[in-house]
Structure 1
Amino acid sequence: MSALPLWALIGLFVVAAVVVWFAGIQLSKTTDVLDTRFHLGSALGGLIVLAVATNLPELAITVSAAISGNISVAVGNILGGIALQTVVLVVLDRFGKRGKDVKPLTYRAASLTLVVEALVVVAVLTVVVAGSQLPSDLTFARLTPGVVLIAVVWLVGLLLVRRSGSHLPWHEDGRAPDSSPHPQGHRRRKPAHHQEHQKHSTGRTVLVFAVAALLTLGAGVVLERTGDAAASQVGLDGVLFGATVLALATSLPEISTGLQSIRQGDDNLAVSDIFGGNAFLPVLFLVAALLSGKAVLPQANSSDIYLTAIAMLLTLVYTTGLIFRPQRRVLGMGVDSLAVLVLYALGVVGLVGIS
C-alpha cells in the first residue's frame, strides 16, 4: 500500500468507508430480524453476538493492525473510537429530531438502565488505564491480566444491564416520567425495514448478514492499510489518525442506524447502541494480544491514556445528562451534547500537542 500515490490511497479509503456505511446498514437491518427470529436479545449470548456484529469495522482494523504489528493504530482506533462514538450522540441529538418543542436526547431517553450502561463503559476504561501500568512481561498464554479483566468486567456489565432491563427497585422500573415509551433495548413498533426483511426466508437473511459482515471486514482492512499509508505520507501521527479520521470512518454505521432509530421513536435504543459498542471495543485488546503475541496495554503511550480519559469524561457528561435530564437546547442540541462537543474539540487540540 505504501507504494501507491497519495491520491490512490485516499480514493481507496473513501471507497472502503462507503462500503462500511452501506454494509453496516445491512448488518443492522438483518441483525434486527435475526434478533426477533432467534430471540437473541433475550440471552447473554445474543448480546455478545450483536455487539460483535455492530463493531465489525473496528474488529477488522484491530485484526489487521495486530497481524501487521502496527499496535499503535489498533490501540488508537479503539480508544479514539470510543471517544468519537460518544460524540456520535451529539449528531443524533442535533439531527435526529427537529422542532421547536423537541426535547434533548437525554431527556427523551432517560433511563437508569442507560446509566448502568454508561457506568460499564467507565469501568472498562478504568481497567484499561490500570492495565497499562502493569509490566509487559506479566503474561500467560499470550495474555496479560489487564485484557482478561476487561473481558470479565464487560461480561459482568452485560449481566447487570440485563438485570436492570427486567427489574429495578425504583419507581417506574427505572424509567423517568415523560421519557421515551419504548422499553430498553427492544422496539414496540418495528421499523419499515424490519417488515421488509421479515418477508425473506431465514436463510436469505443469514446470507445477507454474512455477505455484509465479509464486506465490512474486508473494507475495514482496506481502511487500516490505506489510512496508515496515507497518514505516513502526509506525516500524520498514527495515534492522531486512528483517533480521528479512522475512528470517524468506522463510526459511520452507528451514525446511520442511530438516526434511523431516533426517527422511528426509539431514543433509548440509539443511546444504548453507542454505550454498548463503547463498552465492547476494549475487549478487542484481548484479540490484539492473542494475534500479536505482545502485551498490548503496557505499550499504551501518553496519547492512548489521554484518549481514554477523554472517553471517560465524555461518557460521564452524558451520564449526568441522563440523570438531570436538561430540557434546554442550545444550537439545536442539549446542553450536555454541547458540552461534549466542546470538550472533544479541546481534547483533539490537546492530542495534537501530545502527538
Structure 2
Amino acid sequence: MSSLPSLVLLVIFLACAAAIWGAGIKLSDTTDVLSERLHLGSALGGVVLLAIATNLPELAITASAALAHQLDVAVGNILGGIAAQTVVLVILDAAGVRPRKPLTYLAASLTLLLEGALVVALLLVVVASTQLPKDLIAARLTPGAVLIAVLWGVGLFLVRKAGQGLPWHEGGAAPDSQQQPQGHSQTTKEGTATKQGQRTGTVATVFVVAAVVTLVAGVLIERSGEELFGRWGMSGVLFGATVLAAATSLPEISTGLTSTRMGDYKLAVSDIFGGNAFLPVLFLVATVLSGSSVLPDAHRSDIYLTALGGLLTVAYMTGLVFRPRKQYARMGPDSIAVLVLYVLGIVGLALVSD
C-alpha cells in the first residue's frame, strides 16, 4: 500500500466502505433467516452468530493488525469501535424511529439494561487488565483476555435467561413501549424469504459470500486507510478510533435502520449493546495471533477510549430508565448527550499523549 498514490488509496478505502455496507445488509438479513430456520433465535447460538456477523469488519481488522504487530491500530479499532457503535444509536434515534418518541422510550426494558451493564463490566475488566504484568502470558494467552471471553459468555447466558422472563411487572418491559415482541422483524424477514422461494442452502451461501466480502474489505480498508490517513498526519490510535471505527460501524447502521423501521426498537438497541459486548473478546484473538500481551501494553489513549465507551453506554442506560418523552431535532435528550460527549471525547483524544 505504501507505493500507491493517495488518490488510489482513497478510492480503495471508499470502495471497501461501500462493500462493507452492502455485505452488512446481506449478512443481517441472512443471519435473521438462518436464526429462524435453524431455531437459534431463542438460543445463545443465534446471539453469537449475530454478534460475529455484525462485527466481521472489526474481526478482520484486528486479525490483520495483530499479525502485522500493529497493536495500536487493533486496540484503537476495538475500543474506538465501542464508542462509535454506541453513537449509531444517535443515528437510529434521529433517522430510524417512526413514532415521535425517543428510541429509549420505545425500547425500554430491564433486559437491555443488563446488556448495557455487561458492556460496562467488560470495559472495567479491560481497564484492570492493562495493569497486569506484561510477562504474564502462557500458551499465547493472558489472564485478562481469557477473563473477558469467560465473562462475555456468562453475561450472554444471563441476558438470554432474562429475555425469557423476569420476576418483575410486565416481565421487565416498560409500559407503553414496543408492543410486539423483540425480534419480530427476524420472523418477518424469514417469512419474506420463504415467500420468495429462498432455500436454506441458498441463504447460507449468500451469508458465506457476504462474510468473505466483509472480511476482505475489512483488511483492505484498514491497510489503505492507515497508510492514507497516516500521510495526512493522523496517528494510528486516532485513525482506529474515528475513521476506521466509523467505517466498520456501517453494518450496524444498516441493520439498525431496518429494525427501527420495522418497529423492532428493542432489537435495534440490543444489537448495538450485543455487538459492543463482543468487541472486547477480540482482545483474545489479538493476543493469540500476535503472541503478545495486548492489554498490558495499552496506551493512555486506549484507557481513555475505554472510559469514553463506558460513559456513552451509561448515558443510554440512564435514558432506558428515565424514558424521556420529548425529542429535540428528532433526538431524545440521551442521544443529544451522547453526541456531545462523543465529540468532546474525540477532541480530548487528540490531546492525549502517549
Between 1:90-99 and 1:310-319, the stretch displaced more is 90-99
Q: 1:232: how far off? A: 1.9
Q: Distance in 1 between matches of 2:109 and 2:306?
A: 25
Match of 2:122 in 1: 124
Aligned to 2:276: 278
Tell me how many residue pairs correspond in the alignment: 352
Q: Deviation digits for residues 222-265 of structure 1, max 9, x if unmatched?
A: 01110111122111100000000000000011111101110000
| Residue 139 (structure 1) aligned to one of 134, 137, 140 | 137
Which of 319, 322, 325 pairs up with 2:323?
A: 325
Task: Name whichever of 125-134 and 48-57 sits farther off.
Answer: 48-57
Q: In structure 2, the residue corresponding to 1:42 is in which secondary structure?
A: coil
Percent of aligned positions that are identical: 62
The answer to whether the 8 A contact 1:132-1:297 is kept is yes
Structure 1: how far apart are the matches of 2:239 and 2:325?
Answer: 35
Q: Map Cα deviations across residues 52-101 of structure 1 (whole Å, 9 max, x no partner).
A: 111101000001101111110010000000001000000000011256xx
Range with bigger deviation, 197-206 or 51-60: 197-206
Contact 1:92/1:258 (CA < 8 Å) preserved in 2? yes
* Aligned residue number for residue 175 of structure 1: 173
Alignment of 1:158-237 (within 5 A): 158-184=156-182, 186-187=183-184, 190-191=187-188, 195-196=192-193, 199-237=197-235
Per the TM alignment, residue 146 of structure 1 is displaced from its structure 2 partner at its CA by 0.4
1:298 is displaced (CA, Å) by 0.7
Given that residues 118 and 155 in structure 2 are in contact (C-alpha distance below 8 angstroms), is that contact kept between their aligned partners in structure 1? Answer: yes
CA contact (8 A) 1:32 1:194 kept: no
Per the alignment, residue 243 of structure 1 pairs with 241
- Output the CA distance in 2 between the equivalents of 1:350 and 1:305: 13
Separation (CA, whole Å) in 2 of partners of 1:168 and 1:201 = 36
State the Cα distance separating 1:331 from its structure 2 match: 1.6
Cα separation, 2, equivalents of 1:197 and 1:11: 38
CA change 1:332–1:3 in 2 (3 A) is same
Shift of 1:192: 5.5
CA distance in structure 1 between the partners assigned to 2:201 and 2:192 by the alignment = 16
User: What residue ranges of structure 1 are gaps of 5+ in the alignment?
Assistant: none
Q: Tell me the residue number matched to 2:335.
A: 337
Q: Which runs of 5+ in 2 are unaligned?
A: none
**Residue 328 of structure 1, CA deviation:** 1.6
**CA–CA distance in structure 2, aligned partners of residues 51 and 300 of structure 1:** 24
Separation (CA, whole Å) in 2 of partners of 1:213 and 1:189: 19
Aligned residue for 2:201, secondary structure, equals: helix
Query: What is the alpha-carbon distance in structure 1 between the residues aligned to residue 176 and residue 245 of structure 2?
Result: 34
> Given the alignment of the two structures, is residue 93 of structure 1 paired with residue 90 of structure 2, yes or no?
no
Q: What is the distance in 2 between the residues matched to 1:25 and 1:12?
A: 20
* Kept after mapping to 1: 8 A contact 2:16/2:217: yes
8 Å contact kept, 1:191–1:264: no
**Is residue 65 of structure 2 the alignment partner of residue 68 of structure 1?**
no
Give the residue type in structure 1 aligned to 2:285: V
- The one-letter code sitting in structure 2 at the alignment partner of 1:36 is E
Structure 1 residue 191: deviation in Å? 4.0
Distance 1:108 1:210 in 2: 34
Q: TM-score, normalised by structure 2?
A: 0.97
Structure 1 residue 45: Cα displacement: 2.8
Calculate the TM-score normalised by the size of structure 1: 0.97
For residues 181 and 134 of structure 2, the distance between their equivalents in structure 1, rounded to whole angstroms, comes to 44
